[in-house]
Amino acid sequence: MSKYIFVTGGVCSSLGKGVAAASLGNLLESRGLTMRMVKIDPYINVDAGTMNPYQHGEVYVTDDGAETDLDLGNYERFTRSPLSKANSITTGQIYQEVIRKEREGRFLGRTVQVIPHITDEIKHRIVTVGEHEGIDVTIIEIGGTVGDIESIPFLEAARQFIHDFGKENVIFVHLTLVPSVSEGELKTKPTQHSVSALREIGIQPDILLCRAERPLEESMKRKISLFTNVETDAVISAFNITTTIYEIPLIYSKQGLDGIVVKKLKLNNTPKKNGRWRELVSAYINAGKIVKIGIVGKYTDLHDSYKSIYEALYHGGIANKARIELLKIDSEQLETGDDIGGFFKEIDGILIPGGFGQRGIEGMIKASEFARLNNYPCFGICLGMQIMVIEYARNVLGRRHANSTEFDINTDYPVISLLEEQVDIKAFGGTMRLGKSETILKPGTLIHRIYGKDSIFERHRHRYEVSCKYHQDLKKSGLVLSGFTPDNNLVEAIEWKNHPWGIGVQFHPEFISKPVYPHPLFAGFISESLACKEQKG
């Protein structure tokens, strides 16, 4: 039977529950244990697909096409746990399913209530993830903070796990804040109140992760232990780091977090095997080279909007023993000025990420043109690839009004458009290509050399395509169409001919990049950006 670890948060949001849960999963895997991870989001949306990136960060896509919270990206980067729709639970999904069952008469006329019907559905979904043979632990991160009205049904369901499976099979890890006040003094009172609120629900935390500016002194740990009824050794210092988030599992391990979990859940205490993780952290910290990458995007004001892309760039840096500096450029700023080169003066490579909507598009097109004409390494992802195609059609083909029908429905050269069967479908997401699918790479192209194979599988999240009507025009003008769907109809990758590194892809390679397995496209992009830097002197 699977053991269960619930990770909750208190005091305030954005303390890093996702990274904490992923780090714990990483440590348990290093001990030879098999685990699964679940993210619970208390919002009423069915999934994250329709959310603005400024509201909730990036939308992370799984192999089976689930549009989920960005924390699932952390799970995938830190662990080997497979992810699917089943690993993402929302309030919207729970109520939608319970109401469906009620309409079908599945409750036999009984009054449908939060307890037991909502909580039973929550428990069923959690148990389903970890019930398969060979799974030792299921880690469940409950979003939000203790005290949020939206989280109460999920916390109640978690409390019931103690009665359903026994205390020896369930533990609670609570992440809380130890803030600093005047002159840097750390205060424990918010943590005390947070644990008190959790205990009022009926949950006594077994482990505390105390987020603070610096490591907690032993006297402060003892004080927190005394007021929260948590063993002193189980009060873990989750202090701010200045290196990389990938060091966090090592910091927790040094304080014995994984050993405490193994002991409390009576798991087989196998030897640790996290040498490779230590090596990658060391490679990042001791990197002797610096590469500056300009990200020209629509949502650059919020770091989490492009979370997976930033992390994949760091992975590319690790692969090249280089440190990555991100220079975030709001594409709208490029639309008003003529001195485009000024924005890229300190930059070694340009990345144009995905997005939706017309805002900032012309700035992205200017960035693409600058990279093409000045031999800057350029990487276009999803919308970024479409931008590269539009720019090429305008400035090489001479179709000055070339555009996507997403931005100009009346353009006389719709080089990017919906497929014909999609045009009349208005529901957002109803025509999206979501999840993992196959791409056939053209032999002799740069992308084929990078992957070293004819066929690849990558994850998608988009509606618009390079219009089949203009494939021949683009090829005749010199644009390399280097990747297609297996039916040879839809363009999956493009390249600039006679350019050091100009690649656009319709899929999202960032979603499958890991620090221990950097994605070859990001590793190649960083390698060429390093070469560009050296050439500039």
- List active site positions: 382, 508, 510
- Determine the 3-state secondary structure of 300 from DSSP: coil
Own/partner long-range contacts of 82-86 (Cβ < 8 Å, ≥24 apart):
82/36, 83/37, 86/125, 86/128, 86/129
- Alpha carbon distance 514, 447 (integer Å): 19
Cβ-in-10-Å burial (0-12, 13-18, 19+) of 443 comes to: exposed
- Starting at the edge strand found earlier in the chain, the sheet holding 170-177 runs 88-90, 35-41, 137-142, 3-9, 170-177, 207-212, 235-239
Provide the token pair at 98: 């319970």
Q: Are 10 and 194 in contact (CB under 8 A)?
A: yes
Q: Please report which residue ranges of 382-494 form alpha helices under DSSP H.
A: 383-395, 446-451, 471-476
| Torsion on CA atoms 234, 240, 241, 245, rounded to nearest 10 | 70
Q: Are 46 and 24 in contact (CB under 8 A)?
A: no
User: Any residues with CB less than 8 A from the CB of 490 and at least 6 apart, and which?
Assistant: 465, 466, 468, 484, 506
Q: Are 490 and 409 in contact (CB under 8 A)?
A: no
CA-based nearest residue to 49, from 13, 76, 85, 83: 85
CA-based nearest residue to 60, from 357, 326, 307: 307
Q: At 36, phi and psi to the nearest 5?
A: -130, 155
What's the helix, strand, coil split of the chain in %, to 5? 40, 20, 35
Separation in Å, CA 41 to CA 24, 121, 129, 404, 529? 19, 15, 16, 34, 38
Alpha carbon 220 to its chain centroid, in Å, reads: 34
CB atoms within 10 A of CB 203: 22
Q: Are 205 and 170 in contact (CB under 8 A)?
A: no
- For the chain, the distance separating the N- and C-terminal CA atoms, rounded to the nearest angstrom, is 60
Q: At 518, phi and psi to the nearest 5?
A: -60, 140
Q: Are 343 and 294 in contact (CB under 8 A)?
A: yes
Query: Which strand (E) or helix (H) includes residue 465?
Result: strand 465-466
- Alpha carbon distance 226, 220 (integer Å): 10
User: Any residues with CB less than 8 A from the CB of 134 and at least 6 apart, and which?
Assistant: 34
452: left (phi over 0), alpha (psi -120 to 50) or beta: left
